[in-house]
Structure 1
Amino acid sequence: MDAPQHAARSGGVVATLAFAGITAAIMQTLVTPLIADLPRILHTSPSNSAWVITVTLLVGAVCVPVFGRLGDLVGKRPMLLVCAAPLIAGSVVCALSSSVVPMIIGRGLQGMGMGMVPLGIALLRDVVPPAKLSSSIAMVSASMGIGGGLGLPVAAAVAEYTSWRVLFWGATAMAVIIAVLIWRLIPNVPAGAKGERFDAPGAIGLGIGLVCLLLAVSKGADWGWSSATTLGLFVAAVVMLVAWGFWEIRTRQPLVDLRTTARPRVLMTNLASIFVGVGMYSSMLIVPQLLQYPKATGYGLGQSMLAAGLWMAPAGIMMMLVSPFGGKLTNIRGPKFTLICGILVVAAGYGASLALMGAAWGLMVGLMIINCGVGLAYGAMPALIMGSVPLSETAAANGFNTLMRSLGTSIGAAVIGVVLAELTINLGGHELASENGFRVGLLIGGGVALLAAAIAGAIPAGRRADLGGHGAHAKHAAVSEQVTSDT
């Protein structure tokens, strides 16, 4: 295959994987406009309907690292197609649901598709020319944020002016398109760890530990942080994850190579990812509420769900525009520099949001700044990870990093939820989060971002050619030959 043909093929791969990430993010935000109406739609209680959101988080957290490892074992393209199948099935089940149980099942199936993004990022290392690798990673990695930012206003408009079922039929169509694009445009690159066995005990242990931890974090506020259920889940999570760690260290072909994960460069990047996740998600919880709170509070801006989504949409667009510049910055100064810059921009965005929170345009500007920083940071983290692990562990390492980000968003949701629940006012007999509560939440987001920047600053410096290490040029040539034979 000549250079123009190969460039066109790699461009199609990047576009397909970015669209897959956007679709996966939209699946997560799809039900946001329906939260208040779910009990009526599904003929159930608010506590039961909350599982429609929680189950996607739980299933996604379990499947992302497992599918990542399977991508290394059987190939990334087959696993991308595997991820597309439950996205389609889950969307259809949700569209046809009239009660809470099938809706939860459908949302759980949609959660299985969240493994597309780390698999796609890992695939880029195999098929994209080294000169374009950093910018491609940045675009695909940021696609989750882009989808979240753009999906909310679209979902709100559809939910407001048509049937809620249209949301899920639209999601079905997007998932089908993704499956066709993967089938047609993604090359079948040989698996990096072909022939190794799958660590089933490790997958089960990690799954149980993660479900216990995330259930305790996400439902602790509802059940009570000191309740027997919440404390029991935290204890079970610690016991299971410690046991899982011992197993992973001792087994010959682990689900996650903890020795690689313990390398200072990988460990500090994953730790920073947790705090970046907290910082990113805090704004996504605070800004919509401030926009929609009644003006009678004195600080709410009285916007409808659709209007609030439109005020937030430019932030998603900014992430899309900034991501390619993040790739160029990584090429010039390295991914560590890009990560630190991105996190500091997030902190600056929280400062702007605090100063301008009295106006819708001010919150829009603050969120745009935050998302610019998230776009830079989310593009740099996979580059740091892939520059530090063997080719045979690329997908698994990316899946684990994505899991750390998801853990951060869950922690952020819990912390901000507690703050807003504790700092309240009474308006017309209703308990509402106070202005001080929102300010404290924004301060926490900015403070966590500064802490993340300090952690990122402690990441050991790597070689400039790290991302293309482990024989990347030779590997790239081999992949080109494979792509030529496939076409």
Structure 2
Amino acid sequence: MKMKVARNEGTYDIAYAKRAMLVVVILPLLVMYTEAMLTPALPTIQKEFGVNPNDVSWVLTIYLLVGTVSVALFGKLGDMYGKKRMFLVALGFYTLGVILNGFAQSFQWLLVTRAIQGFGMAIFPLAFSLVREEFPPKMVPQVQGMISAMFGVGMVIALPLGAYVTQNFGWRWTYHSAAPFAIIMFILAWKVLRESRYINPGKLDWPGALILVWAVVPALVAVTRAPNVGWKAEQTIVLFVVSIIGLIALYLWEKRADNPLIPLDIISSRNPAIVNLGIMFAAFGISMMSQANIYIFQMPSPYGFGKTILQSGLLMTPQALVMLIVAPLAGRIMPKVGAKPLALAGALIASSGLGILAKYAPELPPNHLWAFIAMITYVGAGITLMNISLINILVFSVPPRVMGVATGANSLFRNFGSTWGPAVAGTVMSTYYVLAQIPSVPVPIKIPTTRAYEVLFGGAATVYLLLAILVLATREVMKRGKIHEVENEGEKEITVG
């Protein structure tokens, strides 16, 4: 059935929406392919440039630091100058960084080009904004579902492929192989996407942007380095204090700014505030679970299944396939059953699965591989349901003219959660470990015990249970085929068939 939905400024172009959908759905595959392929290459990069493990971790950290600030900055610029324009600028930074990374002749060069690539992290909040603004309401949940599914698929493809490319062709080819796809994506986005119809002109809040850097960067550096230098170390405490002072300063400034970088009335209203907090905790839980999964797959028996990176990636394929099925299906049924029930179901599924993993963690390796795969697949389905529902609650709860700000702030919260997860997981694994002698390693190494997995899975289960409670406080945005969306002039209800 051909559908056109009336709106104040005209009608939605269904043919265009379908073309644009291909661009925004393929985008996560590119980014996850690029980022996940880097992980297996880190030991090789460390060896080539002669740096220590703490230093090589900055290859990941610098990207995250720059990206966390850029998502908020580019989101605001998208509202002011056009979301397609700023999407292309961000994608241009990402493409340039990918190209230059492969030609890095020094470790310092690599850090600079990774920082350039970090500016491109803003492509996702801008893509979410374009989806909400230019796609018919009925299509939005389905497209968001496909985007979410592609994140998981990209991760599963990239980990084993990255290990293979690094081993056989060198780590630079992880970037050389991605660069042509990045260029193609830029050309497709330039040709296919249309400029957003909502422009919210004004002067950029430069003081707010600088204070945001002050508030965000020290905290992220502290969290990243704390597992190595200690959570009670002087530098860790100082960085947290500096960040807290910056956060207070940001609140006071944005409260009085004429055109604030992060409008407090937008991010503090009921649904956006709950979704931002929920996404932060969800990212934290996902990161902790992922860290535990990697170690369980790869650590030798009896502390793990003793699989290679390639084998680990292949064994995660069922999880990706389920996500690929669940995500678009959830997007299709969401307007009928509501985003809130699906988010609640997803959080409870994830919490129950993680609780089972925590209880039976001592019995998993090395004899229950397929039971473990089945359970993480079950958890992945729940996380997929919850993530898709939360992003739809957000995009239908704020006016399109500030969609860039709303999705940018949401990505900022997500990055905070993603940073805390590995740091806490690393601390837990450093607390509960045994020293084991591996034949290929000359000195004993620390291997997490099953107690570490109990703590990580149990902690993640608690996080998702709290998320289920948070979801109960959200206001429903869609139900029985009707979508309640916030427009610039107020709220309206659209019936979709």
Fold conserved between structures, TM > 0.5: yes
Pairwise CA distance, 1:466: 5.3
Separation in 2, partners of 1:303, 1:47: 25
* Equivalent residue in structure 2 for 1:196, among 196, 202, 211: 202
Structure 1 residue ranges without an equivalent (≥5)? 476-487
Separation in 1, partners of 2:388, 2:478: 18
Separation in 1, partners of 2:253, 2:136: 37
* Equivalent residue in structure 2 for 1:328, among 332, 355, 370: 332
Q: Could you say which residue in structure 2 is the equivalent of 1:114?
A: 121
Q: Could you say which residue in structure 2 is the equivalent of 1:246?
A: 252
* Contact kept in structure 2, 1:143 and 1:320, CA below 8 Å: yes
AA aligned to 2:123 is M
- Whether 1:449 and 2:464 are equivalent positions in the alignment is yes
Give CA deviations for 1:26-55 in whole Å, capped at 9, x if unaligned: 333221111222211222222211111111
Separation in 2, partners of 1:16, 1:181: 7
Alignment of 1:53-92 (within 5 A): 53-92=60-99
Identity across matched positions, percent: 26
Aligned residues: 472
Deviates more, 1:253-262 or 1:309-318: 309-318
Separation in 2, partners of 1:474, 1:407: 31
Pairwise CA distance, 1:190: 2.8
Separation in 1, partners of 2:257, 2:459: 40
Pairwise CA distance, 1:76: 1.1
* Contact kept in structure 2, 1:339 and 1:380, CA below 8 Å: yes
Separation in 2, partners of 1:467, 1:199: 31
Separation in 2, partners of 1:56, 1:313: 27
Give CA deviations for 1:154-187 in whole Å, capped at 9, x if unaligned: 2122223322211101221121111011011111
| Structure 2 counterpart SS, 1:30 | helix
* Contact kept in structure 2, 1:94 and 1:103, CA below 8 Å: yes
* Contact kept in structure 1, 2:485 and 2:491, CA below 8 Å: no
* Equivalent residue in structure 2 for 1:303, among 307, 324, 333: 307
Alignment of 1:136-155 (within 5 A): 136-155=143-162
* Equivalent residue in structure 2 for 1:389, among 390, 398, 402: 398
* Contact kept in structure 2, 1:43 and 1:99, CA below 8 Å: no
RMSD: 2.3
Separation in 1, partners of 2:102, 2:312: 25
- Whether 1:205 and 2:211 are equivalent positions in the alignment is yes
The alpha-carbon distance between structure 1 residues 364 and 319, as it changes in their structure 2 partners (threshold 3 A), is same
The alpha-carbon distance between structure 1 residues 146 and 60, as it changes in their structure 2 partners (threshold 3 A), is farther
Separation in 2, partners of 1:233, 1:383: 35
AA aligned to 2:420 is I
* Equivalent residue in structure 2 for 1:156, among 150, 154, 163: 163
AA aligned to 1:470 is E
Q: Could you say which residue in structure 2 is the equivalent of 1:313?
A: 317
| Structure 2 counterpart SS, 1:392 | helix
Pairwise CA distance, 1:472: 10
* Contact kept in structure 2, 1:213 and 1:233, CA below 8 Å: yes
Give CA deviations for 1:331-364 in whole Å, capped at 9, x if unaligned: 1122222211111222233245444733332332
Pairwise CA distance, 1:223: 1.9
Q: Could you say which residue in structure 2 is the equivalent of 1:375?
A: 384
Q: Could you say which residue in structure 2 is the equivalent of 1:271?
A: 277
* Contact kept in structure 2, 1:202 and 1:248, CA below 8 Å: yes
* Contact kept in structure 2, 1:52 and 1:104, CA below 8 Å: yes
- Greater helix share, 1 or 2? 1
AA aligned to 1:234 is F
* Equivalent residue in structure 2 for 1:469, among 483, 486, 494: 486
Separation in 1, partners of 2:166, 2:372: 24
Q: TM-score, normalised by structure 1?
A: 0.91
